Amino acid sequence: MKKRSSVILALFLVLGYGIYIFFLAPVVRERAAVRNIELRDVDLSGLTDGVYHGAYVDGTYEVEVVVADHRIAAIHMLITRDSDYARQAEGVLDSVVEAQSLQVDVVSGATTTSKAILKAVEDALHSPPNEPYISGIIHTKEENRILVVEGIESEDLEQEQWLEEGYEAIWLTVTTDTAVIAPEGKAAHGAELQKGQNVQAWVVGLILDSYPAQSTAGLIIIRE
């Protein structure tokens, strides 16, 4: 009986060791590697205005970084892990915007996830910017959103006309995080957006599949 118990115990030990070697050890090594990984900073003076997309760990973490007037205007978290650690780690994005650098302190208690999010930002800032979603005229302006229509020559064109023609159009919500660039290339405010202006616009996050489409403006450049 005693010998049988010893055999069972040995089997459990071997099984436990096998689980550690094949499942837990790789995770531990991966987390250690992420915590110790180096971050490449970026020269913001060399970046053009736009929205930059980045990812890390096969898309587990995805961000969009808004660059305006050679500054990081905002960072939007698109995809992350569904955990308290991940939500806590997102606080590192505010530090990056404040410091205008990736060389910031990670969030205490969420070191590994903070570093992974920073790697996604690094990937974005070393990638080409997204193309503008739309270039057109502000046809309508409401309190916190604008309707941009591509292909029309005047904001006075009746909505029924361009709806029938199927022109590209989108309602853009303008938030406090939306960066606006004036014609002279300097930072502006959402309040300076006016009906009839010719603009280029980049979106962040989801685009609702409607007509006109609907999304959130990440960056708007007033062209005239």
pLDDT tens string 193-206: 999 999 999 999 99
Residue 220's beta-bridge partner residues?
Answer: 180, 201
Question: Which helix (H) or strand (E) is 207 found in, with range?
Answer: strand 198-208
Return all residues near 187 (Cβ < 8 A) that are at least 6 apart.
Answer: 68, 69, 71, 73, 179, 180, 181
Among 97, 105, 56, which Cα is nearest to 75's? 97
Q: Is the pLDDT of residue 213 over 90?
A: yes
Which ranges of the chain does DSSP label H, i.e. alpha helix? 2-19, 25-36, 84-89, 91-99, 111-125, 159-165
Cα–Cα distance measured from residue 12 to residue 27, given in angstroms and rounded to the nearest whole number: 21
Q: For the segment 40-74, what is each residue's pLDDT rounded down to a tens digit?
A: 888 999 999 999 999 998 778 999 999 999 999 99
Q: What are phi and psi of 157, to 5 degrees?
A: -65, 125
- pLDDT, greater one: 118 or 9: 118
**Looking at the DSSP assignment, which residues form a beta bridge with residue 74?**
66
Distance between CA 183 and CA 221 in Å, rounded? Answer: 7
How far CA 79 is from CA of 76, 101, 108, in Å, comes to: 9, 21, 21
Q: Among 103-107, 136-140, 204-208, whose mean pLDDT is lowest? A: 103-107
Assign 91 to helix, strand or coil. helix
| 14, amino acid identity | V
Of the chain, the percentage scoring pLDDT greater than 70 comes to: 84
DSSP 8-state symbol, 162: H
Phi, psi of 198 (to 5 degrees): -90, 125
Rounded Cα distance, 116 and 61, in Å? 7
pTM above 0.85, yes or no: no
The predicted pLDDT at position 17 comes to 54
pLDDT at 147 (0 to 100) = 96
pLDDT of residue 11: 64
CA 66 to chain centre: 8
